[in-house]
Amino acid sequence: GQQVMQIPQYQHVQEGEDFTTYCNSSTTLSNIQWYKQRPGGHPVFLIQLVKSGEVKKQKRLTFQFGEAKKNSSLHITATQTTDVGTYFCAARASGGFKTIFGAGTRLFVKA
């Protein structure tokens, strides 16, 4: 069945360093969404990418969707302690109904 692989599983950074998480699928995706979950909280929607090669920015966050629509990345520039949490990609296969979540990348930021 459809699977979404996300790496790394976790990352420790010093405040001010950059951070990137990657999401890969073996099948072509209809769209990809990114969510952030703070410790003890629930996932919060960040963004959705739909077009091949799409790049979107939200302040220090940059989201990319691969040309083949099989991979995506989230890059955070100059991390802050408020960026702490787990970042999930979630993808829907072309023609499918359900959205499958990756296992997430947990980000730790040291002040």
Partner 1 sequence: GAGVSQTPSNKVTEKGKYVELRCDPISGHTALYWYRQSLGQGPEFLIYFQGTGAADDSGLPNDRFFAVRPEGSVSTLKIQRTERGDSAVYLCASSFDRGQGYTFGSGTRLTVV
Please report, as ranges, the residues that interact with partner 1 according to CB under 8 A. Answer: 6, 31, 33, 35, 41-45, 47-48, 88, 90, 96-104
We find the least distance from the C-beta atom of residue 37 to partner 1, in angstroms, to be 9
Report whether 61 contacts 89 (CB < 8 A).
no
Residue number, 22 or 88, with CB nearest to partner 1:
88
- Pick the closest to residue 99 from 31, 35, 53, 42 (CA basis): 31
We find the least distance from the C-beta atom of residue 89 to partner 1, in angstroms, to be 9
Contacts of 64 (CB under 8 A, 6+ apart): 49, 53, 54, 55, 72, 73, 75
CA 85, CA 6: separation in Å to the nearest integer?
A: 15
Residue number, 17 or 62, with CB nearest to partner 1:
62
CA-to-CA separations, 42 to 28, 49, 64, in angstroms, rounded: 27, 21, 23
We find the least distance from the C-beta atom of residue 9 to partner 1, in angstroms, to be 9
We find the least distance from the C-beta atom of residue 61 to partner 1, in angstroms, to be 15
